[in-house]
Structure 1
Amino acid sequence: MTDTAIWTMIAGLAVATYLIRFSFIGLLAGRRLPAVVTEALSFVPVTVLPAIIAPMVLLGRDGHLVADPQRLAAAAAALGVGIATRRMLAAIITGMAAYILLGQTGL
């Protein structure tokens, strides 16, 4: 692939990304959304975060289901802290710390 093709692709993707974001931010700015849409959008973070985290915890590098004790324990620690404190940052820091510490201990 030539440099021109790569830069053209990057520019095209940048324009597409801008237009997608503008469609929500620019066109809907200052308008009230219906209550049902606002309520539905409130569930987006709750559904997206597990969808991002679950594959990292449950799948190995080859894409197959793997029961890695280090990942499972770190996820359990993060989940416990998240439920107990209701603070996402505390849960993330706990999960990362547990993963690193368990890795250092050889689990």
Structure 2
Amino acid sequence: MNTIAWSDFEKVEMRIGTIIQVNDFPEARNPAYQLTIDFGDEIGIKKSSAQITMCYTKIDLVGKQIVAVTNFPVKQIGKFMSECLVLGSIGKNNDIVLLSSDLKVENGLRIG
């Protein structure tokens, strides 16, 4: 396992956001959804692509609070621009379980 300096970790902004919209993403190479996520007043609304179709339906996701990295550069995935990286654990079959808060908290709170 590679280690990083604490100063490197401090550069990564992981924040809590609430998924407010979920769309299918048929153009994606692997099954995925397009997510619209509210990170509160300071950060605002961001979009992300997430390969989470094995564990979640669109109905499961709307209103769910998740953890995402919000300060990566925008990444183009096909015609879609992903503005943040939603975090999750990756299982043996590439099934992804989202990282989330077990209690409802304010959107935009930083994870540290």
TM-score bracket for the superposition, by shorter chain length:
under 0.3
The structure, 1 or 2, with the larger RCO (C-alpha pairs under 8 Å, 6+ apart) is 2
What's the TM-score, normalizing by structure 2? Answer: 0.20
Counting helix residues as a fraction of each chain, which structure ranks higher?
A: 1
What's the TM-score, normalizing by structure 1? Answer: 0.20
Counting strand residues as a fraction of each chain, which structure ranks higher?
A: 2
